[in-house]
């Protein structure tokens, strides 16, 4: 009997979300629509420019958003990450536990700076992220809890870990442990820049293949060096037994290992796309861990991610997530 539906490994970042204009991005010389790693001084300059703007703060990181979505739906999750023994680190762990996620206790905390992600949302609902990893850049094998991992149905990690040598090794070793103990493995490609600049590292994380890959169209085509969706699908079949390609307003495409399944979109007026892919992955994994069909899990994931983009922030209140689940039973 497994104790956890999903064991997730990822960066621990306190998200600080601002509404900005394209002119702000131009003034700050920031590439729109992607995640860019910055040093602390660069991030502080951005925050100084925005100091008069209201913003929302919450525990973030791609895999964290996904496992919290799963927990809100009623699943059980464990999250391994690295935060510092500072105010933001304690805030982050409390926010995780308040979200129903199991994690290690504060006795493991070290001195340093907890990672921060400044999320810049433009009027077209696109999100641009400037991330200072802080101590999360030192995520390593030390943060893995092997007993919790072996007691989980699925292991899920984010492609963002590819940027850190120690975190990438931790993800690879976790995958190998899963293969030895019958735990299914899932990876999100996370961001077009991860595919563009760290493709070889992502291939190392995938190894001989994972059970599930999550990607949007741009990430999937970039990983496949393909200029169309068919080429991306053909390639993903060689590195994953199953996969989900999210397509924004076009819905999603699921490969269940035997057939392609089109997931219909849920039409909405988007306000903020931050966390949409994370929500899709968390809701989809919830469905699979409950024994649902890929079609049913995909429909839930589509509805949940559509609802998410209608408001600011990378996650929904639990009652809203539960309402989506109730309507999909």
Provide the β-strand partners of residue 154.
Answer: 6, 184
pLDDT score of 322 more than 90: yes
Give yes or no for a contact between 113 and 14, defined as CB atoms under 8 angstroms apart: no
How far apart CA 135 and CA 142 sit, in angstroms, is: 13
CA atoms of 237 and 219, how far apart (whole Å): 15
Mean confidence (pLDDT) of the chain: 94
Q: Structural domain boundaries of the chain?
A: 4-10+61-111+134-328
Overall average pLDDT of the 233-257 stretch: 97
Paired tokens of 64: 């964290």
Region 282-293: what's the mean pLDDT? 98
Taking the C-alpha atoms of residue 217 and residue 204, their distance in angstroms, rounded to an integer, is 21
pLDDT for the residue numbered 57:
82
The 10s digit of each residue's pLDDT in 111-140 is 999 999 999 989 988 889 899 999 999 999
Give the pairing type, strands 56-60 and 13-19: antiparallel
Report the pLDDT value the prediction gives residue 258, as an integer from 0 to 100: 97
Backbone angles phi, psi at 59, to 5 degrees: -70, 130
Q: How confident is the model at residue 1 (pLDDT cuts 50, 70, 90)?
A: confident
Q: Is 271 strand, coil or helix? A: coil
Can you give the pLDDT at residue 56? 81
The pLDDT of residue 311: 86
% of the chain exceeding 90 in pLDDT: 82
Give the integer Cα–Cα distance in Å for 30 and 52: 19
Question: Please, which pLDDT band fits residue 45 given cuts at 50, 70 and 90?
Answer: very high
Does residue 59 surpass a pLDDT of 90? no
**Radius of gyration (Cα) for the chain, nearest Å?**
18
pLDDT above 90: residue 34? no
212 close to 254: Cβ distance less than 8 angstroms: no
Structure confidence at residue 225 (pLDDT): 97
Distance CA 321, CA 304 (A): 7
- Whether pLDDT at 185 is above 80: yes
Mean pLDDT, range 212-234, rounded to an integer: 97
**pLDDT digits 0-9 by tens, 78-121:** 999 999 999 999 999 999 999 899 998 877 889 999 999 999 98
Model pLDDT, residue 274 = 78
Assess whether pLDDT exceeds 90 at residue 3. yes
- pTM of the predicted model, to two decimals? 0.90
Domain 4-10+61-111+134-328's class? Answer: alpha beta
């Amino acid at each position: 009997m497994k104790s956890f539906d999903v064991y997730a490994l990822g960066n621990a970042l306190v998200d600080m979300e601002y509404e900005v204009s394209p002119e702000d991005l131009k003034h700050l010389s920031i590439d729109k629509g992607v995640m860019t790693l910055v040093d602390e001084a660069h991030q502080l300059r951005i925050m100084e420019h925005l100091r008069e703007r209201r913003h929302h703060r919450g525990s973030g990181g791609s895999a964290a958003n996904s496992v919290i979505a799963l927990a809100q739906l009623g699943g059980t999750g464990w999250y391994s990450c690295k935060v510092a023994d500072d105010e933001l680190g304690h805030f982050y762990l409390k926010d995780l536990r308040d979200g129903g996620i199991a994690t290690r206790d504060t006795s493991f905390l070290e001195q340093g700076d907890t990672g921060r992600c400044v999320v810049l949302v433009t009027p077209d609902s696109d999100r641009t992220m400037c991330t200072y990893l802080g101590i999360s850049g030192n995520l390593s094998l030390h943060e893995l809890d092997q007993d919790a991992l072996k007691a989980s149905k699925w292991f899920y990690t984010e492609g963002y870990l590819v940027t850190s040598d120690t975190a990438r090794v931790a993800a690879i070793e976790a995958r190998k442990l899963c293969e030895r103990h019958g735990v299914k493995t899932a990876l999100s490609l996370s961001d077009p820049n991860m595919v563009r600049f760290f493709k070889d590292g992502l291939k190392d994380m995938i190894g001989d293949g994972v059970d599930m890959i999550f990607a949007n169209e741009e990430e999937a085509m970039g990983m496949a060096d393909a200029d169309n969706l068919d080429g991306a699908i053909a390639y993903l079949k060689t590195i994953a037994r199953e996969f989900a390609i999210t397509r924004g307003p076009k819905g999603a495409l699921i490969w269940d290992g035997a057939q392609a399944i089109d997931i219909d979109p849920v039409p909405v007026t988007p306000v903020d796309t931050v966390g949409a892919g994370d929500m899709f992955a968390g809701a989809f994994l919830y469905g699979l861990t409950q024994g649902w069909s890929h079609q049913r899990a995909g429909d839930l994931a589509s509805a949940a991610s559509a609802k998410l983009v209608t408001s600011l922030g990378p996650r929904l209140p639990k009652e809203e997530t539960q309402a989506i689940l109730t309507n999909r039973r």
